[in-house]
Structure 1
């Protein structure tokens, strides 16, 4: 006898291709629609909608719990203000994705004149010319997609590790769009490790987001609470003994962005003189915590970082 549960499973499997096509079509239409207008329009519209409606979504319960645990001294009104800002920032990131190729207008000869300003451009110039591999860590702050564009635009060859959406057709569409502005994309998966090692062996540069939960990771302290963190960055730094730098995007008023590249972060070493994996990730996480404390409304509090 066919149980209701088994029938539902059959139905979901049978309808999965149609559902994926629908989602991919929706993403394609949204991108087409957003590219019809000036850069600021879709950012402003979707950002405003995010601020108005986002706090009512169920997932906002996760963000509120995270914010209260991280900032026990803040009152409820302040927590709600930050949460509204989180949703606005996420909405703006979504609206800006379709026009990333139009956002970048940084001119080293006239810094501060366009939408993009860069702090630490001289660091990128050194890395570009020293012939050595290097690692970059970043977080879901500001419009984090701009991190992946920065290296290529400043002449620093390399790649970026990223996690593709679960919807295969939507993932392929998004990857094709990213490839236009982000060369060297490495999709997280079984072959990602080999690709990253090969890239560093060739003296190139690699960036990755390291601020999300990773079940099999090392444990670090983030806002005073234990958090499981992907140790790949520290492991690669240990293997290649290469410099590690931070890079973040800060959203500024009037549709502008500041991209900051830090000087080399000297990670702790063990008794053998090699980079300590757990200690290295703690050092990186502490930098990210400082970033989040400075602009809490620009970080993705919706993620279950602590479990």
Structure 2
């Protein structure tokens, strides 16, 4: 039967009925939902402006003081007030699971130390354009120590791409600043805050001290691949939960992690180095870079993604065990 015959034999549409292919009218959302959306659209810009203004004012205030004073003051208040925030429960659960041998008093001491580090981070960020004072001629004279300066110089001059991983420990922002100060060409991947005003201010401050900033998003992968193809270097944080990421063991517990670093290493066959910043007494820091990691490979001789992320996570675990109060335990690293 032809198409025309089939069409002719179909019964006619009832008079006054809806036209073929026309969707029924969409129902309007309930009144309360419309009201909530309206309030959100009006209040969001005001809230963003308020938060952005508060951040800018706080930075201005903290820059008035020497770092040793502002850092100590912020640590005092964060240690005092921070444990009362609900997110502290996450830190306590994480610490008890990671260190079952520690007493409640020891866990409480670590929690206060974690909040103190967060307070010091705030003071550091306000003055991050003034933090770097490393002098290779007098490596022990300033606020910054560098362990592995010769590795930075070698990476700067070898003309090859390389990947760096770090974790939310100490003052992790100094990792990117170190790369820029040693003139290692490349960039860093970062996630911008949800508040646009605060995000613009933070990006503005980072741009003065850091290499090229790659905002996480749909285009980030293409940008990173192009930079590695051009022989540049990339740094990224890899110690947070990643939905549907490969499973690795961290403190004896399984967790999902971001595989981007390992996938790029596999694609470009480039070396992978670890970087961390250790917070030292007296508002001082030690920047450390590891030698190239020996990465596991599959049967075809290519870098194994899951195995590489396990090797990277094991390095991070060793860092955290050494200075547990300097890691961001407030994050839900382990999830069902």
TM-score > 0.5, shorter chain as reference: yes
RMSD: 1.1
Cα distance in 2 for partners of 1:16, 1:216 equals 31
What are the equivalent positions in structure 2 for 1:1-307 lying under 5 Å apart?
3-307=31-335
Using the alignment, how far apart are the partners of 1:210 and 1:143 within structure 2?
15
Count of residue pairs brought into register by the alignment: 307
* Separation of aligned partners in 2, 1:132 and 1:224: 35
**DSSP-derived class of the 1:216 partner:** coil
**Cα deviations across residues 193-214 of structure 1 (Å, max 9, x unaligned)?**
1111111111111000000001
User: What is the CA-CA distance between 1:154 and the residue it aligns to?
Assistant: 1.1
SS in 2 for 1:227: strand
Q: Which 10-residue stretch deviates more, 183-192 or 60-69?
A: 183-192
Write out per-residue CA displacement over residues 26-77 of structure 1, whole angstroms, 9 at most, x where no aligned residue. Answer: 1111111111221222211111111111111110000000000000010000
CA drift at 1:6: 4.1
Give CA-to-partner distance per residue, 1:167-217, whole Å, 9 cap, x none: 111101110110000120101011111111111111111000000001121
Counterpart secondary structure, 2:254: strand
Query: Offset of 1:88 from its aligned partner?
Result: 0.3
Match of 2:140, SS? coil
Are the aligned partners of 2:179 and 2:211 in contact in 1 as well (CA < 8 Å)?
no
Q: Distance in 1 between matches of 2:213 and 2:32?
A: 42
- Does the aligned pair in 2 maintain the 1:234–1:276 contact within 8 Å? yes
Once the two structures are TM-superposed, the CA of residue 2 in structure 1 deviates from its matched residue by 5.4
5+ unaligned residues in a row in structure 1: which ranges? none
Runs (4 or more) in structure 1 with deviation over 4 Å come to none
Q: Does the CA contact (< 8 Å) of 2:297 and 2:304 recur in 1?
A: yes
Deviations 1:274-296 (Å, cap 9, x if unpaired)?
A: 10000000000000000000000
Larger radius of gyration: 2
List gaps (5 residues or longer) in structure 2.
1-28
Distance 1:7 1:68 in 2: 44
How far apart, in 1, do the equivalents of 2:185 and 2:69 lie?
32
2 CA distance for matches of 1:190 and 1:173? 22
Contact 1:63 1:83 (C-alpha < 8 Å) held by counterparts: yes
* 1:93-127 deviation per Cα after TM superposition (whole angstroms, max 9, x unaligned): 01110101111100011011111000001111111
User: Is the 1:39–1:102 Cα contact (8 Å) retained in structure 2?
Assistant: no
2: CA distance, partners of 1:48 / 1:295:
19
Distance, in Å, in 2 between the alignment partners of 1:216 and 1:180 is: 35
Quote the Cα distance in structure 1 between the aligned partners of 2:124 and 2:72. Answer: 9
